[in-house]
Amino acid sequence: MFKLEGCSRVFNMNNLGFVGGRFMANAEGVKEHRKKRLKRIRLGLFFIIMALILFGVKNYYDYLMEPVASENIKRIEIEIPSGSTTKTIAGILKKNDLIKNREFFVLISKINKNDGHFKAGKYSLNNGMALKEIIDSLIKGGASSRETVSITIPEGYEIKQIAEKLSELENFNKENFIRLVSSDDNYRDEYEFLKQVPKGLGLEGYLFPNTYEIYVDSTEDDIIRKMLDEFNKIYIKYIKGQELYKDFTLNDLIAMASIIERETRLDEERAVVSSVFYNRLEIDMKLGSCATVQYVLGERKSHLSIADTKIESPYNTYINKGLPIGPIASPGLKSIQAALNPDDTDYLYFVLTDYDKGKHTFTDNYNEFLRAKNAAKNQ
């Protein structure tokens, strides 16, 4: 024991040893804490990496399950020889651009126990079929190779025009088709996008325009579901999760796209036309779309009368501000994309000035618009 000068406290060397022991214990505790913390960090990183891997695998799985094409659907005739293995069938499908990956087809077939159940024969398929549809067709055999007919529904067609076009099919019942599409009640629970459409509007705008391969004995319901399936592909790939203009709903977006579709036939003008209508919405100006009045009239008039533009209807954008209550036709993908991404312009007016080419003149000045309009009339 010793005493420090100027300090009344007496220190015992044994006490120093005790304190040192406690310091050593604390150091060991800190070391152990760091080890546990490092372990937690490594575990967290492991789960993050696994989540990213699973996310990537899921996305790749979904990609491989999707059709090869979403536009310009082509009918493809193939023949599966008798005794073909799943691997051979996968090669035939890949060679004809009907699937994206041969090994994935073989793997999915084995997982779902379809291996060995595919039937030989001639098949009429198309590159817009999802992988599951192709597998189901090959399992059904004769059903998939039954007679089909190709029919094209142009962009901008209204339901009644679609019905007229489908009337070219031998067994098509136009009245039943109109009855089914006049209400979404039969399909709302099956399609996520239809749950966002106000009840009572029917399916106008949601029967996607495309070229379809349809079995000659298809029912009207079969055809409607095929067209809704096609819209659903577009919805999932291009629309779902996108930020829409202000308080736009899906129904507003498709209504806007349908107006764009009907106002111009040139792809290079769609985003410009889109900008005109969005600019009008921004300043609370009526859209004044001739296409909406034509929809009310039920006919395509090249020039509207003053009386035409005053017809009372929730679809008439000459007398009502904002969008019509629903789509006026079935827009194609280019018009949907234009409604999602309008050009950045100051234009408020446009007028058709080249009838042969379908070109419009755009301006932000009303007097310029009138001059262009008068000049076009005198051509």
Does the domain made of 75-146 have the CATH classification 1.10.3720.10? no
pLDDT digits (tens, 9 = 90+) for 270-303: 999 999 999 999 999 999 999 999 999 998 887 8
Nearest-CA neighbor of 273 among 365, 366, 335?
335
In tens, the pLDDT along 347-372 reads: 999 999 998 899 999 999 999 999 99
Q: Would you state the structure tokens that stand for residue 314, as one six-digit string?
A: 């929730």
- If one counts every other C-beta atom within 10 angstroms of the C-beta of residue 188, the result is 15
**Is 90 exceeded by the pLDDT of residue 117?**
no
Q: How far is CA 40 from CA 37, 44, 108, 299, in A?
A: 5, 6, 37, 69
Name 80's Cβ contacts closer than 8 Å, sequence gap at least 6.
Answer: 89, 92, 118, 119, 120, 121, 123, 138
Residue 362: φ, ψ to 5°:
-115, 145
Cα-only R_g, the chain: 33
Return d(Cα 359, Cα 92) in angstroms, integer.
Answer: 45
Task: Give the pLDDT score at 6.
Answer: 44
Task: Name the amino acid, one letter, at 52.
Answer: L
Q: Is the pLDDT of residue 7 over 50?
A: no
* Between 117 and 5, residue with greater pLDDT: 117
Provide DSSP, 40-63.
Answer: HHHHHHHHHHHHHHHHHHHHHHHH
pLDDT at 66 over 50: yes
Half-sphere exposure (CA, 13 Å, Cβ side) for 198? 11
Could you report the per-residue pLDDT of 177-210, keeping only the tens digit for each? 999 999 888 899 889 999 999 998 999 999 999 9
Tokens of 213: 């391969």
Lowest-confidence segment of 74-83, 131-140, 328-337 by average pLDDT: 74-83
pTM of the model: 0.66
With beta carbons less than 8 A apart as the criterion, state whether 195 and 235 touch. Answer: no
pLDDT of residue 23: 53
Identify the pLDDT of residue 191: 93
Collapsing DSSP to helix, strand or coil, 215 comes out as strand
H or E element that contains 116: none
Burial zone of 84 (CB within 10 Å; 0-12 exposed, 13-18 middle, 19+ buried) = middle
pLDDT of 21 reads 55
Q: CB-based burial of residue 206 (10 Å sphere; 0-12 exposed, 13-18 middle, 19+ buried)?
A: buried
Question: How do 359-363 and 349-354 pair as beta strands?
Answer: antiparallel
Task: Report yes or no: 151 and 168 within 8 Å, Cβ to Cβ.
Answer: yes
What are the sequence ranges of the domains in the chain? Answer: 75-146, 149-239, 250-377
**pLDDT, position 24:** 59
3 close to 10: Cβ distance less than 8 angstroms: yes
Query: Alpha-carbon distance 126 to 134, whole Å?
Result: 9
268 pLDDT exceeds 80?
A: yes
Is the alpha carbon torsion for 342, 345, 348, 354 positive or negative?
A: negative
Whole-number pLDDT of residue 17: 47
